[in-house]
Amino acid sequence: MKVELEVACIRTVRRETAEIVLFFVALSSLIFLIGIIVILFAEGLPAFQRVSFSRFLLGTRWYPTSTPPLLGTLPLLLGSIWVTAGAMLISIPLGLFAAIFLAELCPQSVREYLKPVIEILAGIPSVVYGFFGMVILSPFIKDLLSLPTGLTALTASIVLGIMAVPSVVSVAEDAITSVPRSYREASFALGATHWETIRKVVLPASFSGIGSAVVLGAGRIIGETMTVLMVAGGAAVIPASFFSPVRTMTATIAAEMGEAPVGSLHYQSLFAIAIVLFLITLVLNIFVDRWVYKYRSQVH
């Protein structure tokens, strides 16, 4: 009896210790996030004391080192939107179709090899994708479309779309696989075909997970820096089309932060760009969460 009590006490102490450690790990994540936000706004908000927010957001020229400096981020914002939209048009359909194939149609023997390969693709460094886009894809697009340069928004969209596909596939496939088998069996019992079951039962039941996959893919695209820095062309002008060179907000921060004197207007403006990026990502996450919640409420 005494030994059993000692074992029970040891287990209790271990469980409480694990709970405390996990609590502090979760708390540290929150503290790091708050610290990042505080530093971001502390360094970026002073820029709006010297440049109005409307002029900063809607200005059409970005020349921070001119006299006086021109700090219009509209070309950077539009460049980010064009590249993100193009990449999502590629990554979301491909990722969802691949996830459906892996979860519902792929033979188990093939799936055991195919899924690890897709997950390996998610771990390839972005500079490798950028090098591929710059050396192989860019000259191909230039020759195919007879363009002055192959470093365009289209090239960046294709490369970023390919980069985001593994992330979308991984999360969406897990969401589809987690749908209870009883849902499928009930659908088959009512006479539905396999495709009808996928379209009308499995996908609606896994919609929240699919929404998370879309958000993850969009976040990977919006926050990517090295790839767009290498293949987008780096032109801080309002893009005329997908075939024009562009510069995104992330690429601007990466390219110019090392040259901006600490505390200068240029330095503060780069942090202000980061604030705009943070707000865009925050709004996107809130919108998708509310959309998924509304859809689930309608389904149930």
Q: What is the mean predicted confidence (pLDDT) over 275-296?
A: 78
Does 82 share its domain with 158?
Answer: yes
Q: For residue range 55-102, what is the model confidence (pLDDT) as tens digits?
A: 888 888 888 888 888 888 899 999 999 999 999 999 999 988 988 888
Place of tokens 């500079």: 127
Tell whether 254 is covered by a domain: yes
Residue 14 backbone dihedrals phi, psi, to 5 degrees: -65, -45
Tell whether 276 is covered by a domain: yes
| DSSP string of 97-112, one letter each residue | HHHHIIIIIS-HHHHH
This prediction has a pTM of 0.84
Q: Whole-number mean pLDDT of the chain?
A: 85
- What is the percent of the chain where pLDDT is above 90? 11
Does 20 share its domain with 78?
Answer: no
Q: Which domain holds residue 78?
A: 54-299
- What is the percent of the chain where pLDDT is above 70? 94
User: How many domains would you assign to the chain?
Assistant: 2
Per the CB < 8 A criterion, the answer to whether 243 and 82 are in contact is no
Lowest mean pLDDT among 197-201, 204-208, 284-288, 292-296: 292-296
**Residue 103 maps to which CATH number?**
1.10.3720.10
User: Which residues touch 153 (CB under 8 Å, ≥6 apart)?
Assistant: 79, 82, 83, 86, 232, 233, 239, 241, 242, 243, 244, 245, 246
pLDDT band per the 50, 70, 90 thresholds, residue 2:
low
Tell whether 49 is covered by a domain: no
Does 24 share its domain with 125?
Answer: no
Does 160 share its domain with 24?
Answer: no
